[in-house]
Structure 1
Amino acid sequence: MKIKEETIKNIAEKSFKLVFRTTTEAPGFVHLVFNKKEITPYRFRYIMIDLKKELSKLSVSTFNKKLSYHWLVRFDQQVNTPFHIDNAADESILMLGYEPSEIKSELHVADYHAYANKAYKTSEDYANKFTPVFKEDDDLLKPFTSKINSVKEDNYSIVIINNSNPKSNVETLGIYHKALIINKDLSKNRVVNSMVLNVVSIDEITEDEKKETIFLNTNLISK
């Protein structure tokens, strides 16, 4: 989805419908593309935080639960990963913010619920066998996989993913994701701004503002 002159509120509303899904009819992710000429790294991080706040409002109004940071980091990632969900609460959202880079890469997402509906007799059968890292042949997930060219030289992009696992107490349906680095080059950066957002009780005490201040003002890029 290319973003042109849209408010954060409108972007969040469109994204919420795609990501906070309760059936496999929605994809469980959204890819937002921003023109490089209109954004700075600082402004980009600010957009991510504003999106988090708007998505949290929508989560409260829909599920009576808010979003709180499990982590909020900025790092240089040039390592392939298997299909997985990130370590977080049972119900969580992953927001990945990619800065422009010459390092070509792909992000693959796979709908493990759609896969389970085909491969298992009941959802309970799959939930009992579910692991955070997919340990079977990736070809099994191929019919349920989408490829995203998330990093390019001429734009910033955000991918928001439902990172939940298939537990009985989870209201929305998660998906797997994996990174594939096409041309690794450690002399250059592939900067990823990563938020993992736990879906928590509206009464839970959090330190989100403190984490946001550190995130916005940091010049560090973790390896």
Structure 2
Amino acid sequence: MKIEGEPIKQIANKSFKEVFRTSTQAHGFVNLVFKKKNITPYQFRSIMINLKKELSKLSVSKFNKKLSYHWLVRFDQQVSTPFHVDNASEQSILILGYEPSNIKSELHIADYYSYANEAFETPEDYFNHFSPVFKDNEGVLLPFISKIKLANNDNYSIIIINNSSPKLDVETLGVFHKALIIKEDLSTSRIVNSMVLNLVSKDKITEDQQKENNFLNTNLISK
């Protein structure tokens, strides 16, 4: 989805319907693309934080739970990963913010709910043995995979993903994701801004404001 001047609230509303899904009719993720010439890295991180705040309001309205940071970090990633869900609570959202880069890479999303519905007699047969890292032959996931190309030095991208695990009390349906580095180049950077957000009680006391201030003003990049 190319973003050209839409207000954050409108973007969040569209994203919420796809990401906080309760059936496989929605994808469980969205890809938001911003022109590099229109924003700075600081403004990009501000957009991520404002999206988190708007999505949290929508989550409170629908599920009576707000979004709180499990982690909030910037890192230089040039390593491919297997399909997985990130370490977080059983119900969580992942927001990945990709800064412009010449390094060719992709993010693959696999709908493990659709896979479970079609490949098993009952979905619970898969869910009861669910692992946060998919260790079987990835070929069985092929009909359920979406691929997002990230290599573009002209754009910023924000990908919002339902990172939840399949538990009985989870209200939304998660997906796997994996990074694929097509051609690494250690002489340059591939900066990823990563937010993992847990759905928690709306009354829980959190330290989100301090984490946001640190994230906005840092120049640190983790390896």
Q: Tell me, yes or no, whether TM beats 0.5.
A: yes
Segments ≥4 residues shifted beyond 2 Å? none
- Within 5 A, what are the aligned runs for 1:18-33? 18-33=18-33
Partner of 1:136: 136
Q: What residue is the counterpart of 1:106 in the other structure?
A: 106
Q: C-alpha distance in 2, partners of 1:191/1:151?
A: 12
Deviates more, 1:46-55 or 1:123-132: 123-132
Residue matched to 1:181: 181
Which blocks of at least 5 consecutive residues in structure 2 are unaligned? none
In structure 1, distance between residues paired with 2:24 and 2:34: 27
Question: Is the 1:99–1:151 contact (alpha carbons within 8 Å) kept by the matching residues of 2?
Answer: no
- In the alignment, residue 142 of structure 2 is paired with which amino acid? K
Distance 2:201 2:120 in 1: 32
- Quote the offset at 1:42 in angstroms: 0.3
Q: Deviations over 1:27-78 (max 9, x none)?
A: 0000000000001000000000000000000000001000000000000000
For residues 90-149 of structure 1, what are the alpha-carbon distances to aligned partners after superposition, in whole Å with 9 as ceiling and x for unaligned?
A: 000000000000111000000000000011122221111110000101110000000001
Output one character per residue of 1:186-212: Cα deviation in whole Å (capped at 9) or x when no partner: 110000000000011111111000000
Deviates more, 1:44-53 or 1:126-135: 126-135
- Tell me what 1:92 maps to: 92
AA paired with 1:19? V
Cα pair 1:98 1:151 within 8 Å, conserved:
no
Name the counterpart of 1:216: 216
Give the corresponding residue for 1:74. 74
CA offsets 1:140-189 (integer angstroms, 9 cap, x no match): 00000000012411000000000000000100000000000011011100
Question: Is it true that 1:159 corresponds to 2:159 in the alignment?
Answer: yes
Structure 2 partner of 1:207: 207
Determine if contact 1:36/1:100 at 8 Å carries over to the other structure: yes
Alpha-carbon distance in 1 for matches of 2:150, 2:27: 16
Residue in 1 that maps onto 2:119: 119
State the distance in 2 between where 1:54 and 1:44 align. 16
Within 1, Cα distance between the matches of 2:96 and 2:13? 18
- 3-state DSSP of counterpart to 2:25: coil
Q: Give 1:192-203 correspondences, 5 Å limit.
A: 192-203=192-203
Matched residue type, 2:209? E
Q: For structure 1, which runs of at least 5 residues remain unmatched after alignment?
A: none
Q: Secondary structure at the match of 2:185?
A: coil
Name the % identity.
72
Aligned residues: 223
Normalised by the size of structure 1, how large is the TM-score? 0.99
